[in-house]
Structures are given as structure tokens and as C-alpha cells.
Structure 1
Amino acid sequence: MKHIVCYSGGHSSALVALEVAHRFGTKHLVLLNHDMHFSVEHADIKRFKRDVAEHLGVPLTFASRRNATQDQFDVCVESDAFKVNNGQEICTARLKTEPFMEWLASNASQDDSTIYYGFDATEPSRIQRRIGIMGTLGWKTDYPRIWEERKYENTEALGIPRPCTYSVFKHGNCIGCLKAGWQHWYIVYCTRPDIWLKAMWAEDEIGHAIHWDGDKPVYLEDMEPRFAAMKAAGIPATERIPHQRFWAQARRIIPISDMQIRISLPCDCHEPS
């Protein structure tokens, strides 16, 4: 049996790799990763991926887009859209889903492979959705973070610190994640002006906004003066503050009471459309 871990570089996916290795060994273990461009995937996430793989004695296996120079904005501009017809973000489709499915078709058999995901007990709807999608395609899936018997709760116990990005972000997503909410993008505005400017370039090139408030587009350019006021007022650039409290602070500074504030979610790294 080939045990294929969807190894994103986030802490949960690392725990999945450790649990699968503990239960089944490492002989047929695959740590399948999409290596994102260094400008949007923090160097410490890349370090973390390597450290866990070296601890297990298993090489990283990459299923990446052939053009490794492109980030999420490049592939969207190339496709002249942020989303495909079913509402899935182009970056997920081009950078992750398509290489993932190509790798499975060439390197795995549905008869003797199981694909492991890092969803936990707080995400039952995502688990059921993934079971349905992958099952329809003929693939078996499993979710070690909901196993009753688990050995690992963190990587620090092994001497492997999780990525430093967790001090600010909740997930190991790309910086400038197209699925993320405004709290994530406030951090981008404050800490990564290069990514903020590239995202503005992408919106201008495509002629559409990344974010929408209902059926109304909200461009990054529209949010810039609001974020500037928040930064000047000392609103912390972090996702570690619960979003309700974060936006309660922000509303004292800027007029956003009429906006629907989207919550940032972890990226579905291997989700077929």
C-alpha cells in the first residue's frame, strides 16, 4: 500500500506525516508537496518541510507547476481570471490541483494507494466533502487527525519548531492568499508591500477584484487608505487576534460597518474541481 500524505508544509500536514509513518512505517510513505515560489512561501516553511522529512528519513516528492517562476498572481494574469467557472481560485487549480492529479495519474494506483489529509475534528464538512470528491474519482482517503489513537500533538516535542509564520498567521498558506479574508490582507499591506503591489497589478491587469462584498467588487486600492489609517492607529497586523475583536478595533478607526468581512480559511491544496 502506498501512503500519500498531502504535505503542504503546514503544521497539521506534518503531524499527519508523523502519524502515518508511526502506524505504517516509511517504506511506502510519500510526502507530496507543491513547492510554491519563494516570494510567497516563507523560507521557514521550506525549512520546516525539510526538517520533518529528514526526521522521517523520507525524501520530499514535488508535484509542482512546470513553470516554477510563477506565483499565484502570475498564473491568474496568465489566465485572465482569479477564479475558474466553478468558483475555484485559479491559483489552486493551476499551481496545486492540476499537478496533483497529474502526479497521481502517473505515479499511483487507486487499488493500492491511500491519500491522507490534515483536516481535524473541527472540520467535519471539509472531511465529508473531500471523501465525496476523491471517492467519486476512485481514490481512498484517510484523516489521521481524527484517529482515536494518535501519538503526536506537535512537532516541537521532536525538536522541530513549527514555521515562524504561525506567530502571525493561522495557516501555512501562501502570503497573499487569494482565498484569505481582509485580516490576512491587512498583514500583507503592513508587512509585504511587494506582494500588495503585485496583487494590485494583477487586479489592474485582469480588470476584476480579488475580494467581493456580496455582488460588489472591493479592490485593494479601495482598502489602501483604510489600512493606512489602521496601521497609523496601531492596529496589530496579525491573525492571532480573533477576527471579531480585530474588526471591532478596526471599526473604531475606519468606516467598514457595511462590509461583509470574510474569514481566512486554510488553502485546499489538493482539491480537484
Structure 2
Amino acid sequence: MKHVVLYSGGHSSAIVAIEVVRKYGRENVILLNHDISSTVEDEDIKRFKDEISSYLGIDVTYANHERWKDATPISVCLDARAWKVGSGQILCTNRLKTGPFDLWLERNDSQKENIYYYGFDRNEMHRVQRRVGVMAERGYKTDYPIALWPQRTIHSTEEIGINRPMAYSRFKHANCIGCLKAGWQHWYCVYVLRKDIWNEAKAAEEEIGYAIHKDEAGAVYLEEREGLFAEMERLGIQPNEHVPSGKFWSIAKQAVAERALQIDMFADDDALPCECST
């Protein structure tokens, strides 16, 4: 039996890895990661993963998409000619994470003996409950050190001299840049910081024939928001997910008064978290 940490490269998963190793010993722990193309996963996240694994003395175990060096959330959806199928999981998560994870489980834990550890915190009990249900239904055991363990030995990787990824300076999570589950505030950051990804996504919407985003009235294409975002950028609205959504769009609304009606819809959309877990 092994203790398997779902080691995403984010700060929370690093904290979980440290806690689990300190409790059970590194010889009993696996750090399981789905490596993602550096096109969408910042190189500093890879630095962070390597530094934490070196600190723990454990090599990272990878369960990757067969074309992980080149495959991106947008490209795998283009391959499928869809963003998602029906009400199911968005296809990028399925192709880049869930599929490789399921294959790893089949090959390495067919007897369902391991325990799988996730980095959800106490403010994400809905995610804990959902993950418990999904994994338990398949016969797998899970645990959530940050959310459930009463005793903690570490709260920040800076405590051991390892700086968290620089992506956190602008983004809430160490997810892919251009996350297909993220709201408009994230995509404004993409528009300003990574116009290559914005343009790729815009072209993909046209090729697939459907938008990444939708509102109560239906699909909302990136191209429809491009003029607004260009004006926001011109007026100096900083691309940052750490500004609360309501405040962020209020600032934008004041700056771009003539487009205020368009902005009203964004705050509720951005209240939903990006949840790209396996």
C-alpha cells in the first residue's frame, strides 16, 4: 500500500506532499503528477515541483498524455471538435489529466490498496465531498490533509525556503493559462498577458463552432469581448485574479462607462472557482 499525493504543482499539493511524507515516510509515498506543456504551464511551476520533490527526496511519478509536450487544453479539444460532451467533464481535463490518471490506476493499483491525497482546503468542503464520492464509488480511498487533519506541521513552502510559483502573483491557481473552466477575469488576464493563447482560443471557437463561455442568453464568444478588453487594457486595468471579482469588474465598469452593461454579467461568472482536478 502506498500513499499517493495528487501532485499538481500547485502550492496546496506541495503542502500535502510534505505533510504526508512527514507522517508516513518518503519510502511509502508517491508524488503523482500529470505534466503539462510549458506552453500553458509556467516553467516556474516545473521549478517548484522539482524543488519540492528534491526537498522530500522523492522522484516525481508522471502519468501523462501521450503528447504532453505539445498537447494543450485547446489542442485536445480541437482534436475532439468539442469543448465538452453533453453535461460531462470538460474535455481538456479528461484528456490531459483524468484519462492518464485512470490508466495509471489500472496499471498500478488494480487491487485498490493505495490512499490518494488531495490539496483541497477547509473552504472547499464541497469539493472534498464530491471527490470522496467519485473515488469511493470506484473503490478508492482518499484523504485531505489541509481540510481534515487536526495537526499540521507546515502552512507555507516559504517555511522551508522554497518560494511558491511566480504564477501566484497574478493567478489564484497554478492551473493552465487559458483554463477552459475559468471565468472572464481569468480570460482578461489571458488577453493581456498571453495574446497567443487568446488568439488560439478565438480561432478554436470558430473551428469548433461553439464558444468557451456562455451566459443566460447562450454562447458568448471571445471575439465579442475583445473590444471591451482592449479598452480595459488601454485604460490600465491590471490583469490580476487576486482582486475580488466584484471589485475587479466595478473598477472596470467605472473606467469603461459606455460598456458598463456588458461588464455587469462578469462578476457572477467569476464567482465560480476553476476546478481542474482529476
Match of 1:170 in 2: 172
Match of 1:23 in 2: 23
Within 2, Cα distance between the matches of 1:42 and 1:198? 17
Match of 1:5 in 2: 5
Match of 2:232 in 1: 230
Match of 2:109 in 1: 108
Aligned partner letter, 1:15: I
Match of 1:160 in 2: 162
Deviations 1:88-142 (A, max 9, x none): 1100011100100100110124442000000011011110111011000000000
Give the CA deviation at 1:84. 2.2
Within 1, Cα distance between the matches of 2:145 and 2:107? 25
TM-score for both structures, normalised by structure 1 = 0.96
**Mapped contact 2:249–2:263 kept (Cα < 8 A):** no
Unaligned runs of at least 5 residues, structure 2: none
Aligned length: 270
Give the CA deviation at 1:265. 2.0
Within 1, Cα distance between the matches of 2:60 and 2:250? 43
Deviations 1:202-255 (A, max 9, x none): 111101000001241111100100001111111111011111100111122133
Give the CA deviation at 1:260. 4.7
Q: Which has the higher helix share?
A: 2
Within 1, Cα distance between the matches of 2:146 and 2:264? 38
**Mapped contact 2:202–2:222 kept (Cα < 8 A):** yes
Aligned partner letter, 1:92: T
* Aligned mate of 2:276, from 252, 268, 271: 268
SS of 2:122's equivalent in the other structure is coil
Within 2, Cα distance between the matches of 1:215 and 1:33? 38
Within 2, Cα distance between the matches of 1:248 and 1:177? 23
Within 2, Cα distance between the matches of 1:223 and 1:260? 11
**Mapped contact 2:113–2:140 kept (Cα < 8 A):** no
SS of 1:122's equivalent in the other structure is helix
**Mapped contact 1:213–1:260 kept (Cα < 8 A):** no
TM-score for both structures, normalised by structure 2 = 0.94
Within 1, Cα distance between the matches of 2:157 and 2:180? 28
Within 1, Cα distance between the matches of 2:106 and 2:112? 12
Percentage of identical aligned residues? 49
SS of 2:27's equivalent in the other structure is coil
**Mapped contact 1:110–1:138 kept (Cα < 8 A):** no
Within 1, Cα distance between the matches of 2:263 and 2:131? 35
Within 2, Cα distance between the matches of 1:189 and 1:117? 31
Deviations 1:141-169 (A, max 9, x none): 00010210010100011110000000000
Within 2, Cα distance between the matches of 1:240 and 1:260? 15
Within 2, Cα distance between the matches of 1:224 and 1:92? 26
* Aligned mate of 2:204, from 196, 202, 205: 202
**Mapped contact 1:31–1:59 kept (Cα < 8 A):** yes
**Mapped contact 1:110–1:140 kept (Cα < 8 A):** no
Give the CA deviation at 1:193. 0.7
Name which structure has the greater RCO, CA cutoff 8 Å, separation 6+. 1
> Which stretch of structure 1 is more off in the superposition, 105-114 or 35-44?
105-114
* Mapping for residues 1-273 of structure 1, pairs under 5 Å: 1-68=1-68, 69-146=70-147, 147-252=149-254, 253=256, 254-255=259-260, 256-261=262-267, 262-263=269-270, 265-270=273-278
Unaligned runs of at least 5 residues, structure 1: none
Q: Are the structure 2 counterparts of residues 228 and 28 from structure 1 closer, same or farther at C-alpha, using a change threshold of 3 Å? A: same
The Cα RMSD (Å) is: 1.2
Deviations 1:39-98 (A, max 9, x none): 000000010000000000100111111112211111001001001223311000111001
**Mapped contact 1:41–1:175 kept (Cα < 8 A):** yes
Give the CA deviation at 1:259. 2.0
